[in-house]
Structure 1
Amino acid sequence: MKIKESDGTIIKVFAIYWFGNETYFYGLPKNYGGLLAYRASQVSIIDPEISFNAIYFENNAKSIQHWALIKEKLLDDILERDDVAYNRFVEILKAEGQIEPDFY
Structure 2
Amino acid sequence: MPQPALSLARLSEALGLPEQSLLALVANCDAAADPTRVALTVEEAARRLGVGRTTMYGLVSSGEVSSVMIGRLRRIPAQALSDYIADRAGATVALVA
TM-score strictly above 0.5: no
Q: Higher strand fraction: Structure 1 or Structure 2?
A: 1
Relative contact order (C-alpha < 8 Å, sep 6+): which is higher?
Answer: 1
Q: Higher helix fraction: Structure 1 or Structure 2?
A: 2
Query: Who wins on radius of gyration, i.e. which is larger?
Result: 2
- TM-score scaled by structure 1? 0.25
